[in-house]
Structure 1
Amino acid sequence: MKHYNKPLLLVFPFGLLSHYLRCLVLARHLSPYFRIRFAYHKDYAPFIQAEGFGTFDCITFDEKEVIAKARKFDFSWLSDDAVGSCFLAQADVIERLGPVAVLGDAMPTLKLAAEKTGVPYISVLNGYMTRYYGHVRKLSRSHMAYPYLEKLPRRIKEVFTEMGESMAFREIHRPFKKLRLKYNLSRHDNYLDEMEGDYNIICDMETLFPLRDLPQNYYIPGPILYTGHNNDNNIKEQLNPQKKTIFVSMGSSGEWQKVAFLNHPEYDVYNIITAGDTHGVLKGPHIINTPFADADSLFPHVDLVLCHGGNGTVYQALSHGIPLLCKTSHFEQEWNVAALEKKGLAKSLDRVDKNTYTAIIAEWVTKKGTGAFSAIKTAISHKKELFEATAGQLARTVLAEHKGKVSGQASALKVLELHS
């Protein structure tokens, strides 16, 4: 059946590579059911084009400002003006293009826009960004209260953390609450409510990020792992087979200066591959630079991943049973690494004496495929096998529950019949 007979799905990822890649993987699996268009981003247009999806223009948050402020635990980027502008721009696009549904990844204003336009919202989010997260979110080291809370017993620290978090989420939500009152939308008073859609996709492993009392509109396909269209043969040919290999990525939100210590000649005993180091912070005869690396092709040859603790890189490593060392930049990465440390799958280098880095790397570079790493690799593999079925179930549910809207798009109900 031709693509133009399918109902339209608009995709609004937050402007970081990891969010666009997660949505591209989902779009691959949803494309039998929907015609799909992505919010245009100049940095990620080649990835969208490679998958054959269309684009549309829409005002959104400045991701560079967001990351810079997140490093300071500063949420002023969620100002009245910024939230209002993004909300209205998204609502305008939805009204003009008339999708049957919208999909967002970490896009805080999309729930408002979807509700205003009467369109179902599919939200992609991490387990710790739901109201159903089973652990206490650790206070970020960048928060002014961190040095004081660290001196308290664990349980008392957690009580104060949860109290402060509740107040913070309500305060952050103020611009959203104003818009809900102004446009006569449903009432909410917590930022986490804005992250929740009519349908929700949790891209985490529950063994790392446990969830409790999930409603039926939540789907847990597990990590959403992007596979590219190149095989990195050139990189593999440059590897010295006599050396262990370290892969380094600080993502689109990391700080490369934090791993500049790898330039020291003592790390010449390793092959070191960097992905995305656009300013060439790491350089030397033992450094192999690439703008982007396909994990499925390259990671069978990698022994250790050194990264920022971002969701995408973390799960790509774990899916190959590779241990992680992490230098984080903001609170969500800290939450990721804290969960990994509990399971012995990673170690944070954030508050570690630099003089011990060499010994730590020498220890962790030997752990690939052992114990917990073998177990998590197997668990992720099982989730991956079920991913297509989970995506199909979600698509059929959206189409079936919104037949009235779907029927207005050419032959859209036929899509549902063919995939039932």
Structure 2
Amino acid sequence: MPLPSNATKPLVLVFPCAHTTNYQRCLVIAQHLRPFFEMRFIHTDQQAHLVYQQGFETFNGNFFPLLHYLIEEKLPGVHETNPELMFLEQVEILETLQPALIIGDNDYTLSMAAEFTGIPIISVMNGYQSPYFANRSIFHSQFRNYEPFCRIREKYGLREKNSIQEELEGDLNWICDLPELFPQKELPYHYELIGPLIEVPRPSKATGIEKLSSFKKNILIDLDDTKPVNWLEVLDTITCQGYNLTVRATNQNPKLLHLRRTSSCINSAHLFAKADLLVCNTEGLLYEALFYGLPVIFKCQFAYQERIIEALEYWQIGTSWSHTTSTVKKTFDYWISNKRSDMHRTLQYKLKASLNSLGSKLLQSITLHFPYLDRLSVPVSK
């Protein structure tokens, strides 16, 4: 059940894209801001339990299914009515709840709603989504149809923008990656590198780990199992060849059930210390893997994820699944032998330093850019 409202703190509404990864990283932000703000999250049936487990409230909205028109490469181009409906519902939410501040994570209409209502917005983005990303841009054919947004901006008297990438921008923009993995050009005042948004991993009791053979290497598989997983069928041939397979997936996808005969879980934090390799098709656990020195084999779902593979291969801490299909066992063995490499240790040092200063970076950033939030009392480190 939602918690009672705390009227003594300024209200912040959080609008993550409706994926577990986006909710989890926004929850990390909310944990750090909790002492100073009342944090509420947009409700989705799939992610609400994560919000309630952390002790936060939700608010209702009905526009999340429309997000797929903006981010799915294989669906038709953006339909004007869909982003307009999203925009109008967000405006209604903001005018009803009157937050002091809003935080968006990969929400392509929220900046329009924020501008229309005059409410300041912080945008959370990956390093490869930044317009100042030092390598080539991700915004090409899958985001090709910007015209509907132009018409919405013209219709409602909003200032002109020129691209979907600009729609992701807020009054303040937090880049939540290590610059070593996703380097940036010189950033303007309203862009800040805050680093990865993960909780500092802590040892926890291993539940079910005793079922895994101690004589086999442990492969952790992290899936957005709403997507096709036929590519995993090749793992059937190696489950008895020296590997334990543990699937982290939340949906009951029939194509995953054959893998779950080894072990399956939703919360896999306790498995990292014993894992030897991460196989994934979502970036949700990349930094957790880095924290423990695990190599990563990544399966692309979208073109923008090519930037992730480029970073893994540049630092020699992982590779693409497309390089492994014909020689899975050989590739697995090669990367397992590179666990906790010198490259891992270099990035681990950067990651731990970033996590240790995350809370102070978030609070100082807000007080610097939004000083009129005079109820907020934040100690500023020198």
TM normalised by structure 1 equals 0.82
Segment drifting more, 89-98 vs 270-279 = 270-279
2:353 is aligned with 1:382? yes
Aligned-pair distance for 1:202?
Answer: 0.5
The answer to whether the 8 Å contact 1:219/1:390 transfers is no
Q: Give the AA of the match of 1:202.
A: I
Write the distance in 1 (CA, Å) between the matches of 2:262 and 2:137: 36
Q: Deviations over 1:174-193 (max 9, x none)?
A: 11111111111111111111
Q: Give the AA of the match of 2:9.
A: K
2:2 is aligned with 1:28? no
Q: Deviations over 1:167-220 (max 9, x none)?
A: 875x42211111111111111111111111101111111111111121122221
Q: Give the AA of the match of 2:277.
A: L
The change in CA–CA distance for 1:288 and 1:294 in structure 2 (over 3 A counts) is closer
The answer to whether the 8 Å contact 1:130/1:195 transfers is no
Match of 1:221 among 194, 212, 225: 194
Aligned-pair distance for 1:376?
Answer: 1.4
Aligned-pair distance for 1:267?
Answer: 4.2
Which position in structure 1 is the counterpart of 2:316? 344
The change in CA–CA distance for 1:230 and 1:373 in structure 2 (over 3 A counts) is closer
The change in CA–CA distance for 1:282 and 1:257 in structure 2 (over 3 A counts) is farther
Write the distance in 2 (CA, Å) between the matches of 1:351 and 1:265: 17
The answer to whether the 8 Å contact 2:129/2:137 transfers is no
The change in CA–CA distance for 1:368 and 1:279 in structure 2 (over 3 A counts) is same
The change in CA–CA distance for 1:343 and 1:279 in structure 2 (over 3 A counts) is same
* 2:208 match: secondary structure: helix
Aligned-pair distance for 1:51?
Answer: 1.0
Aligned-pair distance for 1:246?
Answer: 0.5
Q: Give the AA of the match of 1:340.
A: L
Which position in structure 1 is the counterpart of 2:114? 114
Match of 2:149 among 176, 179, 189: 176
Which position in structure 1 is the counterpart of 2:160? 187
Counting only pairs closer than 5 Å after superposition, residues 229-248 of structure 1 correspond to structure 2 as 231=204, 233-248=206-221
Write the distance in 2 (CA, Å) between the matches of 1:213 and 1:68: 28
Q: Give the AA of the match of 1:287.
A: T
Match of 1:368 among 339, 349, 357: 339
The change in CA–CA distance for 1:172 and 1:67 in structure 2 (over 3 A counts) is closer
Q: Give the AA of the match of 2:262.
A: I
Which position in structure 2 is the counterpart of 1:7? 10
Write the distance in 1 (CA, Å) between the matches of 2:202 and 2:95: 34
Write the distance in 1 (CA, Å) between the matches of 2:345 and 2:253: 35
Unaligned runs of at least 5 residues, structure 2: none
TM normalised by structure 2 equals 0.90
The answer to whether the 8 Å contact 2:130/2:175 transfers is no
The change in CA–CA distance for 1:285 and 1:124 in structure 2 (over 3 A counts) is closer
The answer to whether the 8 Å contact 1:247/1:272 transfers is yes
Which structure has more helix as a fraction of its residues?
Answer: 1
Write the distance in 1 (CA, Å) between the matches of 2:275 and 2:67: 30
The change in CA–CA distance for 1:398 and 1:35 in structure 2 (over 3 A counts) is farther
* 1:278 match: secondary structure: coil
Q: Give the AA of the match of 2:94.
A: I
2:253 is aligned with 1:279? yes
Segment drifting more, 224-233 vs 375-384 = 224-233
Match of 1:206 among 162, 179, 194: 179
Write the distance in 1 (CA, Å) between the matches of 2:240 and 2:162: 51
Counting only pairs closer than 5 Å after superposition, residues 47-58 of structure 1 correspond to structure 2 as 47-58=50-61
* 2:26 match: secondary structure: helix
* 2:62 match: secondary structure: coil
The change in CA–CA distance for 1:242 and 1:32 in structure 2 (over 3 A counts) is same
The answer to whether the 8 Å contact 1:15/1:41 transfers is yes
- Percent of aligned pairs with the same residue? 28
Write the distance in 1 (CA, Å) between the matches of 2:87 and 2:61: 10
The answer to whether the 8 Å contact 2:72/2:142 transfers is no
Segment drifting more, 370-379 vs 382-391 = 370-379
**Greater RCO (CA < 8 Å, at least 6 residues apart):** 1
Segment drifting more, 211-220 vs 48-57 = 211-220
Q: Deviations over 1:116-162 (max 9, x none)?
A: 00000000001111211110147xxxxxxxxxxxxxxxxxxxxxxx9
Write the distance in 1 (CA, Å) between the matches of 2:71 and 2:169: 25
The answer to whether the 8 Å contact 1:104/1:110 transfers is yes
Match of 1:355 among 305, 310, 326: 326
Counting only pairs closer than 5 Å after superposition, residues 255-334 of structure 1 correspond to structure 2 as 255-265=228-238, 267-276=240-249, 278-280=252-254, 281-283=256-258, 287-290=262-265, 292-295=266-269, 297-308=270-281, 310-334=282-306
Write the distance in 2 (CA, Å) between the matches of 1:197 and 1:207: 24
Q: CA RMSD in A?
A: 2.5
Q: Give the AA of the match of 1:316.
A: E
Unaligned runs of at least 5 residues, structure 1: 139-161, 407-412
Aligned-pair distance for 1:87?
Answer: 0.5
Write the distance in 2 (CA, Å) between the matches of 1:99 and 1:230: 37
Q: Deviations over 1:325-352 (max 9, x none)?
A: 1222111222211221122111112254
The change in CA–CA distance for 1:285 and 1:317 in structure 2 (over 3 A counts) is closer
The answer to whether the 8 Å contact 1:17/1:44 transfers is yes
* 2:64 match: secondary structure: coil
Segment drifting more, 128-137 vs 111-120 = 128-137
2:130 is aligned with 1:130? yes
Match of 1:415 among 373, 376, 382: 376
Write the distance in 1 (CA, Å) between the matches of 2:375 and 2:291: 37
